[in-house]
């Protein structure tokens, strides 16, 4: 049965009822917009607590104006995350075939509720400055959100659904990490507000590509999903990055650009810390995001997010490209 | 500053370490809940007032250093 979506186009005004008296250092500058050399990212907003955030006041304001249900779910999620690491079995199960092991781990993740799962090496671009975890592999898990609830973006209802999905994916990666530790290997689960960047890992793990709106786009769920990761030393074969033709659509599509009330989404790729990529203006996005319980307009209006649309859209775009008709 | 991970994730912890961590985390989360119920009331009141009056709220006036 097709899922009907109600995208509320009557989004809140970009005129915000709050502002900084003294504007903090630009998040774009901190994030390395315009920088041609690679360096690691620095946390600006929604941090892990590892450093004093430049936009700390907005972060706290966001937490305090959230409805209690959203705030409460965040606290519950933090409580669950205490089990992100734990005891490792004394006897280590040997791994003769990393390919077969990777398949078995993915199967286990799916049994635990993962919507999609991929495996990538842990690389520098997925790490924040000053953080050096000692794990070679990242198992990246995606969890779709309920599209009927997310149709109410900018309201408490969609905010609560986002937190519910975070909790669900947290449970999944915790259980997956426990499963690996029971095999005698190190494994640590990472959910929201982590010390790692999930999106670069998800891209390397073949789960999707970066969209114009700065979020991951995957074939199955568009951008309406949450990402979490398990870092481990369990020998695993890595997946390859995929091309699902995200750029083919994003280069011509202007849905998120036009619908973003604060014009935070650019129509062209930009140089960010040595990589040419889609980039969202942090200074414009974050205050509106705060005002609208996590916003999500760009994700909701994205053609890839329409339930069931992704696979056929990808196929059509790839076919057009191969026939040179784009 | 220690991150949430550095503070509360424990690899191969002993029983007492787990207990100590759980108590510390519970206290931390309780302090967050209390913050929402105390300072949060003032912040939300000021935010609503700003929305009604059309006079933007200065974040520094409700969130201190």
**What is the DSSP secondary-structure string of chain B?**
---HHHHH--SS--HHHHHHHHHHHHHHHHHHHHHHHTHHHHHHHHHHHHHHH--PEEHHHHS--
CB B56 to CB A57 under 8 A?
Answer: no
ipTM: 0.95
CA atoms within 13 A on the CB side of A197: 22
- Residue A3 pLDDT > 50, yes or no? no
Instruction: Give the residue among A231, A207, A227, A229 at the shortest CA–CA distance from A218.
Output: A207
Residues of chain B contacting residue A65, judged by C-beta atoms under 8 Å apart: 40, 43-44, 47
B34 touches chain A (CB under 8 A): no
User: CA-to-CA distance for A170 and A143, rounded, in angstroms?
Assistant: 10
Mutate to test the interface with B, among A24, A46, A65, A133 (most CBs of B within 10 A): A65
- Of the candidates A20, A61, A88, which has its C-beta nearest B12's C-beta? A88
User: CA-to-CA distance for A189 and A80, rounded, in angstroms?
Assistant: 11
Q: CB neighbours (10 Å) of residue A318?
A: 15
Q: How far is A292 from chain B, CA to nearest CA, in Å?
A: 13
pLDDT computed for residue A75 by the predictor: 93
Cα dihedral across residues A175, A176, A178, A179: positive or negative: positive
Q: A275 has which bridge partners?
A: A272
Q: A189 has which bridge partners?
A: A230
Mutate to test the interface with A, among B6, B11, B30 (most CBs of A within 10 A): B11
| Residue indicated by tokens 């609560």 | A160
Residues of chain A contacting residue B50, judged by C-beta atoms under 8 Å apart: 17-18
Task: Report, as an integer, the average pLDDT of A124-151.
Answer: 94
Residues of chain A contacting residue B36, judged by C-beta atoms under 8 Å apart: 63-64, 68, 71
Residues of chain A contacting residue B5, judged by C-beta atoms under 8 Å apart: 48, 50, 84, 188, 190, 194-195
* DSSP run (H or E) holding A52: none
Task: Report, as an integer, the average pLDDT of A86-110.
Answer: 98
Task: Report, as an integer, the average pLDDT of A141-159.
Answer: 94
Residues of chain A contacting residue B35, judged by C-beta atoms under 8 Å apart: 64
Instruction: Give the chain B residue nearest A63 (alpha carbons).
Output: B36
User: CA-to-CA distance for A266 and A264, rounded, in angstroms?
Assistant: 7
Please enumerate in sequence order all residues whose Cβ is within 8 A of that of A17, keeping only pairs 6 or more positions apart, or say none. A291, B47, B50, B51, B54, B56, B57
In the sheet with A116-121, reading across from the earlier edge strand, the strands are A116-121, A137-144, A225-232, A187-190
Helix (H, G, I), strand (E, B) or coil at A312: helix
Q: A322 has which bridge partners?
A: none
Residue, of B49 and A131, whose pLDDT is higher: B49
Q: How far is A26 from chain B, CA to nearest CA, in Å?
A: 16
Averaged confidence pLDDT in chain A: 93
Q: How far is A269 from chain B, CA to nearest CA, in Å?
A: 32
What percent of chain A shows pLDDT beyond 70? 96
* DSSP run (H or E) holding A188: strand A187-190
CB A49 to CB B9 under 8 A?
Answer: no
Task: Report, as an integer, the average pLDDT of A44-63.
Answer: 86
Q: What are phi and psi of B57, to 5 degrees?
A: -80, 135
Each residue's pLDDT tens digit, B22-43: 999 999 999 999 999 999 999 9
pLDDT computed for residue B65 by the predictor: 72
CB B58 to CB A18 under 8 A?
Answer: yes
Q: How far is A231 from chain B, CA to nearest CA, in Å?
A: 13
pLDDT computed for residue A50 by the predictor: 65
User: CA-to-CA distance for A257 and A204, rounded, in angstroms?
Assistant: 26
Q: Are A104 and A112 in contact (CB under 8 A)?
A: no
pLDDT computed for residue A6 by the predictor: 46
Task: Report, as an integer, the average pLDDT of A155-174.
Answer: 95
Averaged confidence pLDDT in chain B: 94
> What is residue A116's DSSP assignment?
E
Task: Report, as an integer, the average pLDDT of A171-180.
Answer: 98
- Of the candidates A68, A75, A186, which has its C-beta nearest B11's C-beta? A186
B36 touches chain A (CB under 8 A): yes
Strand A216-217 with B57-58, pairing: unpaired
pLDDT computed for residue A2 by the predictor: 39
């Amino acid at each position: 049965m097709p899922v009907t979506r109600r995208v509320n186009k009557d989004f809140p005004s970009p005129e915000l009822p709050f502002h900084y008296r003294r504007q903090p250092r630009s998040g774009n500058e901190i994030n390395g917009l315009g920088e041609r050399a690679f360096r690691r990212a620095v946390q600006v907003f929604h941090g892990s607590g590892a450093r004093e955030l430049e936009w700390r006041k907005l972060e706290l304001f966001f937490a305090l104006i959230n409805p209690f249900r959203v705030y409460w779910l965040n606290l519950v999620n933090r409580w669950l995350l205490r089990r992100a690491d734990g005891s490792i079995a004394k006897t280590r199960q040997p791994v003769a075939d990393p390919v077969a092991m990777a398949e078995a781990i993915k199967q286990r993740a799916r049994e635990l509720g993962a919507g999609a799962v991929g495996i990538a090496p842990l690389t520098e671009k997925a790490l924040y400055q000053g953080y050096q975890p000692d794990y070679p592999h990242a198992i990246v898990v995606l969890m779709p959100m309920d599209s009927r609830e997310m149709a109410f973006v900018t309201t408490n209802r969609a905010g609560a659904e986002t937190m519910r999905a975070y909790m669900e994916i947290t449970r999944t990666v915790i259980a997956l990490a426990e499963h690996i530790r029971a095999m005698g290997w190190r494994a640590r689960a990472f959910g929201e507000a982590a010390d790692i960047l999930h999106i670069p890992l998800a891209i390397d793990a073949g789960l999707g590509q970066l969209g114009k709106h700065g979020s991951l786009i995957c074939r199955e769920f568009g951008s309406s999903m949450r990402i979490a990761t398990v870092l481990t030393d369990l020998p695993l074969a890595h997946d390859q990055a995929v091309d699902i033709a995200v750029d083919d659509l994003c280069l011509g599509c202007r849905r998120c650009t036009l619908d973003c009330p604060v014009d935070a989404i650019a129509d062209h790729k930009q140089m960010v810390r040595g990589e040419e990529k889609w980039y969202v203006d942090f200074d414009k996005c974050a205050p509106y995001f705060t005002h609208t319980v996590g916003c999500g307009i760009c994700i909701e209006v994205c053609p890839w997010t329409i339930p069931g649309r992704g696979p056929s859209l990808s196929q059509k775009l790839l076919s057009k490209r191969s026939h040179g008709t784009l | 500053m220690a991150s949430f991970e550095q503070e509360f994730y424990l690899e191969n912890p002993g029983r007492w370490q787990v207990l100590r961590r759980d108590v510390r985390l519970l206290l931390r989360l309780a302090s967050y809940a209390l913050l929402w119920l105390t300072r949060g009331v003032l912040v939300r009141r000021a935010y609503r007032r700003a929305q009604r009056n059309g006079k933007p709220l200065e974040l520094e006036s409700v969130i201190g250093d």
